Amino acid sequence: MGKHVGRQTVVFDRPPVIASGASVVGPKEGQGPLASYFDEIWKDEMDGEKSWEKAESKLMKRAITLAIEKAGLKEENIQYILAGDLLNQLTASHFAIRDFSIPFLGMYGACSTMGLSMEVGAMLLDGGFADYVAVSASSHFCTSEKQFRMPLNYGSQRPLYATWTVTGSGSLVLAANGDGPRITAATAGKIVDYGIKDAFNMGGAMAPAAADVMKAHFQDLNRGPDYYDLIITGDLGYYGTQLTRELLEKEGFLLDERYTDCGIQIYDKEAQDTHGGGSGCGCSAVTMAGYLLSEIQKGAFHRVLLIPTGALLSPLSTQQGESIPCVAHAVVIEKE
């Protein structure tokens, strides 16, 4: 039993394979730099649905269906779905997954949900509890604004450091056996709260959680950042990544140009007016299932550290003046 290494990390004996990935996104993401990596791009934010919430569920349902198809599997082959989103009581996921006849494990890690789902899914597979699991996460700009911020047509200004919630869902099928990129290790994050209260400043709030889990990861595995060709956080955006760099530098870990963020990759900051970058569960999910998986399969990257980051606030906690507890989960994806 050498699977648990150090304080927070697990190293898989039989590293699960990422058998396939699928991503479905909204129009804005489809105009961004990663457009060519997405399986489906919607023409509008509703895609014929009656509410934004239904539309978000449809994104996830479609992404899971596509991922299962692309893996050459059928619904009955998948033993578990692990998924989550940002809406109260995981509304988007529950209504997406009720149409599947697959056991469901709900995951909530705010925008870190994709990392959390991959980590737990890989544990299930390595533990011998399943042969195939599907993992998924989604977010929708309109549902998030409605739940966490202001009505869409309200004429307010967003701070320059605010991030833009990604409309999209990314899904992966993970397999116990087979060929392809493997999840070799994962580090579970602790909840970290440095007292940031500004709900627009997610990057600033989450950076300490990202830095904390990365530090634990490097220490547990006795590795430095130079082990990886790409280190990519979930949705810290431009300012959050800078803060993460600074925090880790203080701990003696230098993140050079190999470090970036899904929220930086997904939008063109100038042309798309997205201010601080992209955010939301969908941000790391579609970047993983689209861009990262594709580039890893092509051999552009061999060792990737993906760290989806989540701000665990609620509209209630913000109104009550609480600070923002945050979490991040680090997942190692390797391909020979």
Partner 1 sequence: MDITMEQKKQYQKRVEQVCPQTNLLTGCLKAFVVGGLICVLGQMINTWIMNFGADRQLAATWTSISLIFLGSFLTGAGWYDNLGKFAGAGSIIPITGFANGIVSSAIEFKKEGFILGLGAKMFTIAGPVLVYGVLASAIVGLISYFVG
Residues of this chain that interact with partner 1 (CB under 8 A) are 50-51, 53, 146, 150-161, 192-196, 201, 203-204, 208, 239, 242-243, 246-247, 276
CB of 27 to partner 1, least distance (A): 15
3-class SS of residue 120: helix
Q: Which is nearer to partner 1, 40 or 49 (CB)?
A: 49
Q: Which is nearer to partner 1, 54 or 329 (CB)?
A: 54
Q: Nearest 5 degrees, angle CA 56-CA 88-CA 67? A: 35
Q: Which is nearer to partner 1, 54 or 335 (CB)?
A: 54
Q: Which is nearer to partner 1, 205 or 304 (CB)?
A: 205
* Rounded distance between C-alpha atoms, residue 167 and residue 43, angstroms: 12
CB of 220 to partner 1, least distance (A): 16
CB of 56 to partner 1, least distance (A): 13
Q: Which is nearer to partner 1, 62 or 275 (CB)?
A: 275
CB of 190 to partner 1, least distance (A): 8
Write the burial class of residue 195 (CB in 10 Å: 0-12 exposed, 13-18 middle, 19+ buried).
exposed
CB of 197 to partner 1, least distance (A): 9
Q: Which is nearer to partner 1, 247 or 330 (CB)?
A: 247
Angle between the N-to-C axes of helices 52-70 and 141-148, in degrees from 0 to 180, rounded to the nearest 10: 140
CB of 242 to partner 1, least distance (A): 6
Selection from 19, 8, 308, 293 nearest residue 166 by Cα: 308
CB of 172 within 8 A of CB of 17? Answer: no
CB of 29 within 8 A of CB of 35? Answer: yes
3-class SS of residue 215: helix
Rounded to a whole number of angstroms, the distance between the first and last alpha carbons of the chain is 25
Q: Which is nearer to partner 1, 153 or 222 (CB)?
A: 153
CB of 87 to partner 1, least distance (A): 13
Pairing of strands 309-311, 230-233: unpaired
CB of 323 to partner 1, least distance (A): 9
* Rounded distance between C-alpha atoms, residue 68 and residue 295, angstroms: 20
Q: Nearest 5 degrees, angle CA 188-CA 34-CA 58? A: 70
Query: Residue 172: what residue type?
Result: L
3-class SS of residue 21: strand
CB of 170 within 8 A of CB of 21? Answer: yes
Q: Which is nearer to partner 1, 101 or 153 (CB)?
A: 153
Write the CB contacts of 127 (distance below 8 Å, at least 6 apart in sequence). Answer: none
CB of 50 to partner 1, least distance (A): 7
Selection from 282, 279, 266 nearest residue 96 by Cα: 282
Q: Which is nearer to partner 1, 271 or 300 (CB)?
A: 271
